[in-house]
Structure 1
Amino acid sequence: MVSTIPNPHVKQKVAERALVVAVTSRSVFDSGADDGGVLGVGVAFPLLQALQRVNERLLEDDPAETLLFDVVLITTDAQQQQQRPPLLSSARHHGLDVSRFCFSGEDDFLESLLTNDVQLFLTTDQRQAQQASGKGVLSALMDQQVASSPSEQLRVMFCGDAVVRSNSDLMGAIRPATQRFLARLGELRRRFGVFHSPLSIILVTFHGGRDSCGGALRTLRSRGVHVDEVYCLAGAPRGPIMSQLRPHFLLREGLSGLQE
């Protein structure tokens, strides 16, 4: 059974305009609480701060702005299911702009994604990401490296190899979700100038050469996404550059065949 609780401490976003991002609570908070009942922060904590920083800058420029990130916290962890009050109070304690808290079981968390019109689902669980993709929800994995990502700038990375791949091995159901996300993300990025933007979009091709990188760049531009940084590794080890770029997440799913 899915239960959704609006956060009474934050202003709810305009549903028709918001870019809804769902993040699992186990990636945002540790299960252990201190003496005051406040949960410790997890790997996704800088991500939520970066999303919030984008919203703050948008509202600074235009207080009537409605194109904002709308954060939903998804809880499927059995232990955290029993920690509803600490989850809500911890989000408030840490100053996180979480609009809604969704509680569900492992077997029906997909319902919470669809009910909340989630446009991007972020998790540390590969199985959850695959299940969400199968239902047409754009998903991405986060790992421990996210904890070192900057909190003052949201860094979104696209896998250029997936963009130029011509086969349709990924289910067609996820492609409309990807195109919708790209359109919203591109519109968000255009709200800011070239310098000092709280949102940076990065393109990396890990295996292809210069032509592949150029093709991926043109494809993203045709979808309204203007890239800030481009890297062509051509088979070089990815570890060093990833540690320097420190993206909050890497998008691969749904990118295949965008040029069609």
Structure 2
Amino acid sequence: MTDLYLSEDSEKVKEAIEERFAAATMFACDNMNELSDKQLRIAFDGDCVLFSDESEIITKTQGLDAFFDNEKKFENKPLAQGPLKGFLEAVWKLQQKFYAKRLSCPIRTYLVTSRSATRGGARVLKTFKSWGLEVDEAMFLAGSPKGPLLQTIRSHIFFDDQMSHIEGARKLGTIAVHVPYSIRNLLQETTPIKS
């Protein structure tokens, strides 16, 4: 079984996601950050990456206030899994092997999300708990750019569904990969390009 498929070919990635594989399109960066050679640091966006696009759909179709209302109403209902949940689960199982032997783990995971901790963050944390998974650090940026934080934590790779976050990460030296799984990506594909 494949836990993750990475490619520079976006069409192959879309095909893999349609077949329900965890997949993402890789984008290199010109001036890569200095990275740890003792610890692998993996950063994930939440919605449309680890979680489904259900909250994204509400935001895009009904607005931000409807999103906040929905998150409050369903705070105790776990989010559905997104395309990379299985990959995070595989990484978590590797981490547990180190923790079980009381060893320092050479893998560190981060959630780097545009969500606010106070409005939507609780549902995210409760979802992880319901899955029996954890990330080492959860950063709720409340809409702030992700690139500067990724540069600070020096993640080796960052998974996101929005190209604006991918570009922001790349400009600041982080290898970023695009997960084309969301209503936003569907709208971008179907909206005619204006000349």
TM-score with structure 2 length normalisation?
Answer: 0.55
The code of the aligned residue for 1:158 comes to F
| Among 19, 30, 44, the residue aligned to 1:158 | 44
Aligned positions, number = 135
Question: CA 1:176/1:189 → structure 2, altered by over 3 Å: closer, same or farther?
Answer: same
Give, in angstroms, the shift of residue 251 of structure 1.
Answer: 5.4
Is 1:119 the equivalent of 2:3? yes
Is 1:189 the equivalent of 2:75? no
| Pairing 1:71-110 to 2, within 5 Å after superposition | none
Question: CA 1:254/1:185 → structure 2, altered by over 3 Å: closer, same or farther?
Answer: farther
Specify the alignment match of 2:18 in structure 1: 134
Secondary structure of 2:112's aligned partner: strand
Secondary structure of 1:142's aligned partner: strand
Q: Deviations over 1:234-259 (max 9, x none)?
A: 01122211212233231555998xxx
Higher relative contact order (CA 8 A, sep 6+): 2
Alpha-carbon separation, structure 2, partners of 1:120 and 1:159? 16
Q: Rg: which structure is higher?
A: 1
Asked if structure 1 preserves the Cα contact closer than 8 Å seen for 2:115 and 2:121, the reply is no
Alpha-carbon separation, structure 1, partners of 2:28 and 2:136? 24
| Pairing 1:201-212 to 2, within 5 Å after superposition | 201-212=109-120
Q: Mind listing any 5+ residue stretches in structure 1 that lack a counterpart?
A: 1-116, 170-174
The code of the aligned residue for 1:206 comes to S
Specify the alignment match of 2:123 in structure 1: 215
Asked if structure 2 preserves the Cα contact closer than 8 Å seen for 1:204 and 1:213, the reply is no
Secondary structure of 1:214's aligned partner: helix
Question: CA 1:121/1:232 → structure 2, altered by over 3 Å: closer, same or farther?
Answer: same
Alpha-carbon separation, structure 1, partners of 2:141 and 2:19? 32
| Pairing 1:22-61 to 2, within 5 Å after superposition | none
Specify the alignment match of 1:198 in structure 2: 106
Alpha-carbon separation, structure 1, partners of 2:121 and 2:38? 28
Secondary structure of 1:160's aligned partner: coil
Q: Mind listing any 5+ residue stretches in structure 2 that lack a counterpart?
A: 58-80, 162-178, 183-195
Specify the alignment match of 1:249 in structure 2: 158
Asked if structure 2 preserves the Cα contact closer than 8 Å seen for 1:126 and 1:141, the reply is yes
TM-score with structure 1 length normalisation?
Answer: 0.43
Q: Deviations over 1:6-39 (max 9, x none)?
A: xxxxxxxxxxxxxxxxxxxxxxxxxxxxxxxxxx
Instruction: Say what the alpha-carbon RMSD is for the aligned residues.
Output: 3.4
Alpha-carbon separation, structure 2, partners of 1:198 and 1:165? 31
